[in-house]
């Protein structure tokens, strides 16, 4: 067994004994929270170092899109096909919650610390909110470019809604907040303008992301027939074979993921409304106090 095989074996065991059965969004949230809590000071002191991985992910997304556009049938094989180190690295990053889901998880953390009560943990994470935004958005941009739709062939109505309409809208909303998060751009903008731009684009972007994740996992999970848990049936992708253990686990993960996205969406909307009401009440109080003094 060579070094590469040993690495894949270790990754397989980590996935089997730690992550297996957990939906991707939950894996990523755990990974992202551990990451930012452990490396918070380092991220603040040396952010460029932590931008390297998402930058490589973005470059990979661009290269993949160009390759698959120019050579639709041969790009996969041109990089070694099944078992090649290129695809293994990509697939295992995704499987371990370090791919696009990691970017989504960082954006979730960024958005929630903006509406949660300012306790010690939230204040600590607030110090690297910009850096988390850049890392998360760069990964999302790479994924969005790689999977940007170029054809509606074989797409059903929901596929068109998700990939042709909602997906590109989310990607478009992401561009400006992503670019203006970099200090070199942010420092050239007025503070009020920057904040309004981030708020007015960031909130619909985030809501759109959660809605996309909810619908996508819901559609994936209902690909399986509604059936008794102990009934033997065939795979929704190939009705000549029974459902495998892996497909069963995937189905369970997707069902749980729909609930997680829904809880995140509802929780954020409630917290955002509470924050707006509190801000309005504070502003009204200050205005009343000013009028009394005047």
SS3 of 88-99: HHHHHHHHCCCC
Q: Determine which helix (DSSP H) or strand (DSSP E) holds 252, and give its type and residue range.
A: helix 245-293
pTM beyond 0.75: the answer is: yes
Strand, helix or coil at 234? strand
Render 142-203 in DSSP notation, one character per residue.
HHHHHT-----TT--HHHIIIIIIIHHHHHHHHHHHHHHHSHHHHTTS-HHHHHHHHHHHHH
43 within a domain of the structure (yes/no): yes
Please indicate whether residue 84 or residue 177 has the higher confidence score (pLDDT).
177
CA-wise closest residue to 260 among 218, 205, 201:
218
65 within a domain of the structure (yes/no): yes
276 within a domain of the structure (yes/no): yes
146 within a domain of the structure (yes/no): yes
Whether 167 shows a pLDDT value over 70: the answer reads yes
pLDDT tens per residue, range 220-245: 776 554 445 545 555 555 555 555 55
What average pLDDT does the segment 30-41 reach? 94
Instruction: Specify the number of domains making up the chain.
Output: 1
What average pLDDT does the segment 180-192 reach? 89
151 within a domain of the structure (yes/no): yes
Whether 41 shows a pLDDT value over 70: the answer reads yes
292 within a domain of the structure (yes/no): no
Confidence label for 114 from pLDDT (cuts 50, 70 and 90): very high
CA distance 83 to 87: 7
294 within a domain of the structure (yes/no): no
Both tokens of 260, joined, read 């997680």
Tell me what pLDDT residue 225 has: 46
Average pLDDT, rounded, for the chain: 83
Which structural domain, as residue segments, surrounds residue 220? Answer: 3-283
Confidence label for 3 from pLDDT (cuts 50, 70 and 90): low
107 within a domain of the structure (yes/no): yes
pLDDT tens per residue, range 250-280: 777 888 899 999 999 999 999 999 998 988 8
Both tokens of 158, joined, read 């929901």
């Amino acid at each position: 067994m060579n070094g590469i095989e040993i690495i894949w074996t270790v990754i397989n065991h980590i996935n089997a004994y730690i992550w297996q059965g957990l939906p991707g969004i939950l894996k990523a949230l755990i990974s992202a929270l551990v990451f930012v809590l452990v490396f918070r000071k380092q991220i603040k002191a040396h952010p460029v170092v932590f931008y390297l991985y998402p930058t490589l992910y973005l470059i990979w997304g661009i290269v993949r899109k160009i390759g698959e556009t120019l050579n639709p049938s041969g790009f996969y094989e041109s990089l070694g096909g099944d078992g090649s180190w290129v695809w293994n690295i990509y697939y295992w990053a995704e499987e371990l919650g370090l791919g696009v889901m990691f970017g989504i998880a960082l954006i979730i953390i960024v958005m929630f610390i903006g509406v949660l009560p300012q306790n010690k943990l939230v204040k600590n994470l607030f110090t690297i909110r910009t850096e988390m935004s850049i890392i998360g958005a760069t990964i999302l941009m790479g994924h969005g470019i790689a999977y940007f739709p170029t054809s509606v062939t074989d797409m059903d109505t929901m596929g068109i809604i998700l990939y042709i309409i909602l997906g590109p809208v989310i990607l478009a909303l992401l561009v400006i907040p992503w670019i203006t998060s970099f200090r070199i751009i942010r420092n050239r903008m007025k503070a009020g303008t920057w904040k309004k731009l981030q708020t007015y684009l960031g909130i619909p972007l985030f809501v759109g992301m959660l809605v996309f994740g909810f619908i996508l996992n819901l559609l994936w999970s209902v690909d399986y027939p509604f059936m008794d848990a102990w009934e033997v049936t065939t795979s929704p992708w190939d009705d000549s074979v029974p459902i495998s253990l892996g497909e069963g686990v995937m189905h369970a993960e997707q069902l749980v993921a729909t609930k997680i996205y829904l809880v995140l969406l509802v929780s954020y909307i409630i917290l955002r409304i509470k924050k707006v009401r509190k801000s309005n009440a504070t502003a009204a109080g200050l205005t009343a106090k000013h009028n009394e003094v005047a």
